Amino acid sequence: MRVAVISVHGCPLLQPGSREAGGMNVYLAALSQELAQRGVELDIFTRWHAPEDPQVLDLRPGLRVIHLEAGGRSARPKEDLYRLLPEFLRSLMVFQRAQRLSYDLVHSHYWLSGWVGGVLRRQWGVPHAVMFHTLGAVKNQMRAGEREPERRIRMEQRIIARADAVVVASSQEEHQMTRLYQVPPGRVHVIPGGVDLDLFRPMDQRLARRELGLNGEKILLFVGRPDPLKGLDILLTAAAQLEHPAGVRVLVVGGQGGAPAELPEAPRDAAAPGPQPTVSYHGSVAHQMLPYFYNAADVCVVPSYYESFGMVAVEAMACGTPVVAARVGGLQSTVRDGETGFLIPWHCPEPYAERLELLLGNDALRTSQSIAARAAMQPFGWATVAEQVLGVYRELTGA
């Protein structure tokens, strides 16, 4: 089976945690590796984002990343890419014809790629599977950050209506898609994201902290892009409301390092005068280093307004770190409230501070949730996820 994977802005070679790279990049890289191990040949078509990169990079037998020129070969904001889609499509068709390639299936990721995948479905006469990772209408409902344009929502509706299969990461996302986009019955396949259970595993907290140069403070961890949708301001204010904030360090992993410009000033200044928690901004770190941060932390906090799956929470729990997260999206399927962490139904700092106080002050509870968290992540291994995706491929192609 040969699959054309379309990911216009989400190159699997980009380091997660930067402004335009996150969980989707991790998902794409890990899933493709697993599918290639099962004999599927995949060409990942993505926009050329760095001029020094080769056009074609072989990651392993049967798995290639192919960079296509669209608006130059340098990084561009995601907002600029819609108008570049026709050029991206032309570059893809030129490459495909020159190499005399044929494919059994197109799998696109995100709505920009879904437009490309829909055209290829018609031109090549092959099935089209799509995964959106986030949905514009849902983001607008959350009323956090910039408002997604109506153009995106109309395009998502059109892609959903014409795709042969839509993959979603949780039953919550399936419900949202059905309610907001009137998805045809039988088209949706619920397949969760995955986690590398060998990389993300429990380790001695003292060793993890020594590796990162950290001391014996209570540590709250935030991992994510500097995006208002991720709710970092909620965590910072909650940390300042703890009973003993001076003994707490908030580690922020993601972005360029330093306090992000996107973070409003008000929440950081809202706490009453007095001792404050220490906040350390580490910027984007290599994926292989993330387990040290998860294991160094006492609690991982995911206060997002919207998560289709919540990969950060799954990685943290795989390391045995309890999670305090928003009761939104796929987090409701991965975090077991009161067992592997806590789910917070309100986007305000007070309930976060209450649950964080409980966990930081109760070693036995943290230990119990740590053990339960690791055990609960066993079904989320990438091998299991890849088998489910391969099942969709076989259903669509009759293989």
| CATH number where 190 lies | 3.40.50.2000
Pair (137, 271) in one structural domain: no
Pair (142, 234) in one structural domain: no
Tell me, yes or no, whether 274 lies in a domain: yes
pLDDT category at 257 given cuts 50, 70, 90 is low
Helices (H), the chain: 23-37, 85-98, 111-124, 136-142, 150-162, 171-181, 205-212, 232-240, 265-269, 290-296, 311-318, 331-334, 349-360, 363-376, 382-397
Pair (185, 46) in one structural domain: yes
Q: Which residue has the tokens 């970092």?
A: 232
Structure-block tokens of residue 32: 């493709």
Tell me, yes or no, whether 82 lies in a domain: yes
Nearest CA to 144 among 206, 233, 16, 39? 233
Angle at 269 between CA 267 and CA 270, to 5 degrees: 65
The type of residue at 276 is: Q
Tell me, yes or no, whether 227 lies in a domain: yes
Q: Which residue has the tokens 């390391």?
A: 319
Q: How far apart are CA 147 and CA 214, in angstroms?
A: 38
DSSP 50-82: -TTS-SEEEEETTEEEEEE-SS-SS---GGGSG
Tell me, yes or no, whether 199 lies in a domain: no
- Do residues 301 and 320 make contact, with C-beta atoms less than 8 angstroms apart? no
DSSP 100-120: T---SEEEEESHHHHHHHHHH
Pair (47, 176) in one structural domain: yes
The type of residue at 152 is: R
Pair (59, 148) in one structural domain: yes
Amino acid 287: pLDDT: 87
Amino acid 258: pLDDT: 60
Average pLDDT, the chain: 90
Structure-block tokens of residue 390: 């391969």
Average pLDDT over residues 162-187: 89
Tell me, yes or no, whether 65 lies in a domain: yes
Task: Count the neighbouring beta carbons within 10 Å of the beta carbon of residue 44.
Answer: 25
- Do residues 355 and 324 make contact, with C-beta atoms less than 8 angstroms apart? yes
Pair (185, 272) in one structural domain: no
Pair (20, 109) in one structural domain: yes
Q: For residue 78, what are the CA distances in angstroms to 81, 111, 224, 261, 337?
A: 5, 11, 17, 18, 35
Pair (144, 187) in one structural domain: yes
How do residues 36-76 score in pLDDT, each as one tens digit? 999 999 999 999 988 888 999 999 999 999 999 998 888 88
Residue 311 or residue 147, greater confidence: 311
Q: How far apart are CA 58 and CA 28, in angstroms?
A: 15
Tell me, yes or no, whether 132 lies in a domain: yes
Amino acid 143: pLDDT: 65
Tell me, yes or no, whether 271 lies in a domain: yes
Tell me how many domains the chain contains: 2
Q: How far apart are CA 205 and CA 261, in angstroms?
A: 32
**pLDDT for residue 268 is more than 60:** no
Structure-block tokens of residue 308: 């289709």
Nearest CA to 62 among 37, 99, 25? 37
Pair (105, 24) in one structural domain: yes
Tell me, yes or no, whether 200 lies in a domain: no
Amino acid 256: pLDDT: 64
Pair (161, 281) in one structural domain: no
Pair (147, 260) in one structural domain: no
Q: Phi and psi dihedrals of 128, rounded to 5? A: -125, 120
Domain, as residue range, for 76: 2-194+381-397
Q: Is 293 left (phi over 0), alpha (psi -120 to 50) or beta?
A: alpha
Give the relative orientation of helices 23-37 and 382-397 as an angle to the nearest 10 degrees: 70
pLDDT-wise least confident of 180-189, 287-296, 381-390: 180-189
Pair (66, 79) in one structural domain: yes
DSSP single-letter state for residue 247:
G
